[in-house]
Amino acid sequence: MGGDDDDDGARRVNADGAAEPAEVLDAGLLLTPARPANAFEETVQRLLQSIRLGLIAPGERLPAERELAGMLEVSRDTLREAIGSLAEAGWVVSRRGRYGGTFVADPPPERTSPHSPAPPADPAALAADLEDTLALRAVVEVGSARRAAERPLPASDRERLWQAYRDCHDADPAQYRVADSRFHLLVAELVGVPSVVRLMADARMRINAYLDGIPLLAPNISHSDDQHRAIAEAILRGSADDAARAMGEHLEGTEALLRGFYG
């Protein structure tokens, strides 16, 4: 399902066979081993997170089947079942030919996938889940910003962080949520602890489910852009306190909006 098994650069080629530019985030960042007891479910989760959070973009090809199964440490049968489920839900499509393989749908489906998180319908449950989501996000994101600022970053990571900020700054409304998610995931990656990236991905999936239910507000995006810049600059100059403070202020703005719309 993933295309030619010998194509090591599968994820960097689009449906037309054109090479893709280097990305701020590696498409395989979330494609980590699934636990055997829930191999199918976790494979679906990893693939869907990678797509929904923008690590594998619309129209982009998934890694070759052998490579992808190795990354996830699952059998090819399990991988095919997971990809088949995502194909049925409209998230991926398979193509044959010289540049064939499995590609992310372009555009991706607008409907909610059965494997995607959604806010609870019950008001009491929704309020509890929202507070839980906001608390998780605050712990993971503020801590990640602090630890990223404390680490000596190589030039390549510094360039990636600034590019992630620029991608948010330049994104049109349709692409803003993806660019925003990628910025925050990169901050987590800079911590250098893979489990933090997974926690960040889970938190982003949950918070995005709430954000998808409210309109994009131009003043909020402008404000967020200023805050993203403050976070990036604090990390780049190695100021852990400033990075944590800037991230905290950024999250507080989102919290206020979500409590306003969902409270």
Residue 11 predicted with pLDDT over 80: no
Are 97 and 158 contained in the same domain? no
Residue 23 — very low, low, confident or very high, per pLDDT cuts 50/70/90?
Answer: low
What does the alpha-carbon distance between residue 201 and residue 238 come to, in Å, rounded to a whole number?
A: 24
Pair 119, 130: CB distance under 8 Å: yes
* Full-model pTM: 0.74
**Tokens representing 152?**
């000596």
Question: Do 159 and 258 belong together in one domain?
Answer: yes
pLDDT bin (cut points 50, 70, 90) of residue 75 is very high
Q: Assess if residue 5 is contained within a domain.
A: no
State the Cα–Cα distance between residues 190 and 149, nearest whole angstrom.
9
User: Token pair for residue 118?
Assistant: 């959604």
Same domain for 132 and 248: yes
For 118-175, write each residue's pLDDT tens digit.
Answer: 787 788 898 999 999 999 999 999 999 999 999 999 999 999 999 999 999 999 988 8
> Is residue 235 domain-resident?
yes
Model pLDDT, residue 1: 44
Among the three residues 40, 75, 104, which one is the final residue of a domain in this structure? 104
Verify that 95 and 171 share a domain, yes or no.
no
Domain encompassing residue 252 = 123-262
Is residue 210 in some structural domain? yes
pLDDT over threshold 80, residue 235 = yes
- Residue 88 shares a structural domain with residue 151: no
Same structural domain, 52 and 142 = no
Is residue 118, in this structure, part of any structural domain at all?
no
Give the 3-state secondary structure of residue 104: strand
Gap between the Cα atoms of 51 and 181, Å rounded: 11
pLDDT confidence of residue 261: 84
pLDDT band at 181 (very low <50, low <70, confident <90, very high): very high
Verify that 216 and 127 share a domain, yes or no: yes
The per-residue pLDDT for 110 is 66
Is 172 a domain residue? yes
Tell whether the model's pLDDT for residue 37 goes beyond 70.
no
User: Could you read off the pLDDT of 201-233 as tens digits, one per residue?
Assistant: 999 999 999 998 888 888 889 889 999 999 999
pLDDT of 12 higher than 50: no
